[in-house]
Structure 1
Amino acid sequence: MWLDTLSLLRERGRGHRESGGFLLGRLRDGKRTVEAFLPYDDVDPNSLTGAILFDGSRMDTVWERCRRDGLEVIADVHTHPGGVGQSQTDRDNPMIPEVGHIALIVPNFADRTYLPGDIGIYEYRGRRRWIDRSGDGGRYFAVRRFA
């Protein structure tokens, strides 16, 4: 699923603009399991303008999908043209402004496969404060292969 998500990010960004989406899944015993990816531009067709300008009034589509499939927003993910650091815009505008929300940043417009340790992982703490969890990659975000 992570590889498919990276592929979609790469495709939607066309190698020259940011792209992103919501990671949907379930929270059980303190662990988040991602089961679906919902690209921003499927929710707001005008969101990918170079940077991401997402119309928050479109979130009803996200909540309806979650209700329909019994899922919740586990995290959000978006690409950057260079590194994995948060921009001021990222810090000031969390996609889900709830304490504990996780935001992932994939570098270089997702031009290849990136795994924990290669991506930015940020936990929202409220009031525009974040904790950088990137160095704890495997603890906060793990990619598992299933046979």
Structure 2
Amino acid sequence: MSELSDVIELQVPLQVMQEGYEFMRTAGRMRLEGMVLWAGRQEDRTFRVTELIIPRQRGLSTPDGLCAIVDGTELRRLNIHLYQSELELVAQIHSHPDRAYHSSTDDRHAIATTIGSFSIVVPNFAMVNYALAECAVYRLDEYGSWLEVDESLPPNKIVVI
């Protein structure tokens, strides 16, 4: 059986990318971060995203910064949906108000927690459809650390189809 950490190519439909950016952009217009998830199925060492999931979330703005909060009830609903649909969560994508980086909050409160999962941070509230090279792309390693990766090369290649 293949593990998510075996994936060397992640294929994402352009429509999934565009709809995700639009949601994050809408949140950004309210000066809030937005989060979306990618789910699909693994075939050998390729993972094909088939679904954009926009979890119910609450944007929070504090003196320390911004975040998108997904509560436990919603996480349970997402897990049931993934199980019943026979889908696997492969990535979480969220926006930041300015530059793209993985904050300590992003590290500690990830939704995608399977080794090999991706976490993508989009700059400037996703106000444009940024190329992935302009985003910060991370992958969860076997030690539970989010490592920044080059999304244009295997084993972390992301292809928009």
Pick the TM interval, shorter chain: 0.7 to 0.9
Structure 1 residue 12: Cα displacement: 3.2
Q: 2:148 aligns with which of 119, 124, 132?
A: 132
**Higher RCO, 1 or 2 (CA under 8 Å, sep at least 6)?**
2
Q: 1:123 aligns with which of 139, 149, 161?
A: 139
Q: 1:28 aligns with which of 43, 60, 65?
A: 43
Q: 2:53 aligns with which of 38, 56, 59?
A: 38
Q: 1:48 aligns with which of 59, 62, 70?
A: 59
Structure 1 residue 94: Cα displacement: 2.1
2:68 partner SS:
coil
CA contact (8 A) 1:104 1:119 kept: yes
- Tell me the equivalent position of 2:75: 59
1:13 is aligned to 2:24: no
TM-score (normalizing by structure 1)? 0.83
TM-score (normalizing by structure 2)? 0.76
Q: Which amino acid aligns with 2:152?
A: G
Tell me, in whole angstroms, the C-alpha distance in 1 between the residues paired with 2:126 and 2:70. 19
- Tell me the equivalent position of 1:73: 89
Tell me, in whole angstroms, the C-alpha distance in 2 between the residues paired with 1:105 and 1:34. 18
CA contact (8 A) 1:23 1:75 kept: yes
- Kindly tell me the number of residue pairs found equivalent between the two proteins: 138
- Gaps (5+ residues) in structure 2? 1-14, 62-66
Structure 1 residue 81: Cα displacement: 0.6
Q: Which amino acid aligns with 1:100?
A: G
- Tell me the equivalent position of 1:110: 126
CA contact (8 A) 2:55 2:78 kept: no
Q: Which amino acid aligns with 2:151?
A: G
Structure 1 69/128 Cα, relative in aligned 2: closer, same or farther at 3 Å? Answer: closer
Tell me, in whole angstroms, the C-alpha distance in 1 between the residues paired with 2:143 and 2:110. 10
Which structure shows the higher strand fraction? Answer: 2
- Tell me the equivalent position of 2:160: 143
- Tell me the equivalent position of 2:103: 87
